[in-house]
Amino acid sequence: MKIGIIGLGYVGLVTSAVLADQGHLVVGVDVDSKRVEGLSCGRNPIYEPGLDELLAKNKDRLQFTTDYAKLSDVDVAFISVSTPTVNGEIYLEYVMSASKSLAKVLRKDSLIVMKSTVLPGTSRKVREITGREVVSNPEFLKEGSAIKDSINPDRVVIGSYTKEAGDVVESIWKFTGAPIVRTTPEEAEMIKYAANSFLAMKVSFINEIANLCERIPNCDVNKIAEGIGLDKRISPHFLKAGLGWGGSCFPKDTLAISTFARSLGTPLRTVDASIQVNNERPKRAVTLLKEIMGQLKGRKVCVLGVAFKADTDDTRESVALKVIDILKEEGAQVVAYDPKAKANVTMVSMEQCIDESEGVIIATEWNHFKGIEDKLRGKYVVDGRRLLDPSKMDLTKFRAIGLGTPSIQ
Ligand code: NAD
Ligand code: UGA
């Protein structure tokens, strides 16, 4: 098939590379000319494990352009532009603008596939604006394992108005071998928000249990997670207590669905509570540091990790950045280190970051920070992602999320 991909960000680029690898001819369109120029010269603008290699391997089947006219002969056009939340509400201008551009160039029988995360009813609007058949096919990939998730998803959700349109999208993803869930477009759109909200709620739940464990001697939240996670009805995933969820999706999607639900008179109280719990997480790291270190004014603190999670250079809504802001408000001098991401703070090597500072907060779950207990000797340390072995730490200068104090024998 000849496939168009509109929006060459994390989702669009991964989808382009994966579909080209399946033998499709892919035309990727983005309004960002620098991004397109770079991609056309083989420069990948994002860090995602395996993506450079997959783009290079399939370069003969991939074309990148700012020109929508190049989509005039595609069979299917995927929309994967950003859908941010602005003032608590979903901002649909990028989707609408892309839809209007597509309406001008696509063949009448071309299919539009909505991959961007949009509220129930949006695909219907795009169908009206474009006069083309639209299928909702939400994306469930995670940054850091995006290619693996895209090739081997837990399920593929396809929401269509007509069986024929749904069948075309099903044929594209058949190679994954994943269970296919056929729905209405509105159901598919809702499934995406319900999934992200549920995962965010699981993390907020275990983070509240972590707060409680910190007040109980001899009680470690990781053991609680292990003990409940083996119950198949609960599952072990998304029970890692820490400094909370960030990223380009959970924060914006939970807010968007919450506002949408309230506008319909049916507030999502569990989602609202999860957001509230999450908003308190960055402060928790600083509170724990002050418990062991005292006032932070004028003192140097190192933040390890600025990406919103491990294995990505993405810092959108990163909890680490919020921790840095709170440290600065407390008057601390902040330095940071991250293996991939950049931030508006003094960034130095990991060794320098630790050596220069009195206090250290681990804010991102990078594997690089495992096994560094020796390097941290003499420092005040808060393990915000549970990467360190408490038995190797000086417990008078150490706090870890969800770790109750050891019992006195
Ligand atoms: P992104 O911000 O990384 O990329 C979006 C791209 O769209 C940008 O390059 C931008 O220049 C381009 N764009 C904006 N308006 C355009 C237009 N009118 N025409 C052409 N290009 C345009 O976004 P992303 O993280 O890839 O997310 C895209 C969508 O997928 C969002 O709705 C998001 O919620 C959803 N999603 C993201 C992830 C993820 O892990 N990042 C996972 C699942 C779903
Ligand atoms: C998330 C979902 O997992 C994807 O299924 C979804 O497609 C995507 O959002 C999206 O809609 O964009 P992503 O944001 O890339 O993916 O990363 P996650 O692995 O879900 O992590 C999100 C945040 O939760 C991170 O800040 C991470 O540190 C935190 N987290 C995750 C925890 O604190 N504990 C956990 O157990 C899991």
Question: Looking at 7-90, which runs of residues are DSSP E strands?
Answer: 25-29, 62-65, 76-79, 85-86, 89-90
Binding site membership of 249 for ligand 2 (Cβ less than 6 Å): yes
- Burial classification of residue 390, based on how many CB atoms lie within 10 Å of its CB (0-12 exposed, 13-18 middle, 19 or more buried): middle
Residue 249 annotated among the catalytic residues of the structure: yes
Nearest atom, ligand 2, residue 238 CA: 36
- Fold matches, 2-183 and 195-400: yes
* Cα 99 from Cα 232, distance rounded (Å): 42
Q: How far is the CA of 230 from the centre of ligand 2 (A)?
A: 21
Q: How far is the CA of 376 from the centre of ligand 1 (A)?
A: 39
pTM as predicted = 0.96
- Burial classification of residue 207, based on how many CB atoms lie within 10 Å of its CB (0-12 exposed, 13-18 middle, 19 or more buried): buried
Fold annotation for 2-183: Rossmann fold (3.40.50)
Dihedral Cα 380, 382, 386, 391, nearest 10 deg:
30
pLDDT above 80 (res 409): no
What type of residue is 281? R
Dihedral Cα 144, 140, 251, 324, nearest 10 deg:
0
Report yes or no: 336 and 343 within 8 Å, Cβ to Cβ: yes
Binding site membership of 117 for ligand 1 (Cβ less than 6 Å): yes
Class of domain 195-400: alpha beta
What type of residue is 220? D
Phi first, then psi: give them for residue 407, nearest 5 degrees: -70, 150
Report yes or no: 189 and 119 within 8 Å, Cβ to Cβ: yes
CB atoms within 10 A of CB 406: 12
Task: List CB contacts of 2: < 8 A, sequence separation 6 or more.
Answer: 24, 25, 27, 73, 74, 75
Q: Given this model, what pLDDT does residue 407 score? A: 56
pLDDT above 90 (res 353): yes
CA distances from residue 375 to 61, 340, 368 in whole angstroms, order as listed: 48, 21, 12
Q: How far is the CA of 263 from the centre of ligand 1 (A)?
A: 25
Q: How far is the CA of 181 from the centre of ligand 1 (A)?
A: 23
Q: Is 198 annotated as a binding residue?
A: no
Binding site membership of 28 for ligand 1 (Cβ less than 6 Å): no
Report yes or no: 171 and 109 within 8 Å, Cβ to Cβ: no
Q: Which of 284, 309, 312 to mutate to test ligand 2, by most ligand atoms within 8 A of the CB atom?
A: 309
- As given in the structure block, the two tokens for residue 27 are 């035309």
224-237 b/e (C-beta count within 10 Å ≥ 16 → b): bbeebbeeeeeeee
Phi first, then psi: give them for residue 4, nearest 5 degrees: -100, 140
Phi first, then psi: give them for residue 176, nearest 5 degrees: -70, -25
pLDDT above 60 (res 77): yes
Q: Which of 213, 219, 249, 302 is catalytic?
A: 249
From 280, 272, 262, select the one nearest 201 (Cα to Cα): 272
Per residue in 251-269, pLDDT (tens digit) is 999 999 999 999 999 999 9
Q: What confidence category does residue 149 fall into, taking pLDDT thresholds of 50, 70 and 90?
A: very high
Q: Is 360 helix (H, G, I), strand (E, B) or coil?
A: strand
Q: Is 316 annotated as a binding residue?
A: yes
Q: Is 117 annotated as a binding residue?
A: yes
Binding site membership of 82 for ligand 1 (Cβ less than 6 Å): yes
Q: What confidence category does residue 142 fall into, taking pLDDT thresholds of 50, 70 and 90?
A: very high
Q: Is the ipTM of this complex over 0.90?
A: yes
Kindly give the interhelix angle for 250-263 and 269-279, rounded to the nearest 10 degrees: 140
> Cα–Cα–Cα angle for 366, 367, 369, nearest 5°?
80
Q: Which ligand is nearest to the CA of 15?
A: 1
- Across the range 24-32, mean pLDDT stands at 98
pLDDT above 60 (res 102): yes
Q: Percentage of residues in the chain with pLDDT exceeding 90?
A: 97
- As given in the structure block, the two tokens for residue 112 are 């539009």
Binding site membership of 241 for ligand 2 (Cβ less than 6 Å): no
Per residue in 281-340, pLDDT (tens digit) is 999 999 999 999 999 999 999 999 999 999 989 999 999 999 999 999 999 999 999 999
- As given in the structure block, the two tokens for residue 100 are 């209007």
Report yes or no: 110 and 134 within 8 Å, Cβ to Cβ: no
What type of residue is 87? N
- Across the range 197-202, mean pLDDT stands at 98
Binding site membership of 194 for ligand 2 (Cβ less than 6 Å): no
Q: Is 83 annotated as a binding residue?
A: yes
Q: Given this model, what pLDDT does residue 379 score? A: 98
Edge-to-edge strands of the sheet including 62-65? Answer: 62-65, 25-29, 2-6, 76-79, 111-114, 133-136, 156-160, 180-183
Among protein residues, the one with the nearest Cα to ligand 1's atom 37 is: 11
pLDDT above 80 (res 406): no
Domain boundaries defined on the chain: 2-183, 195-400
CB atoms within 10 A of CB 246: 25
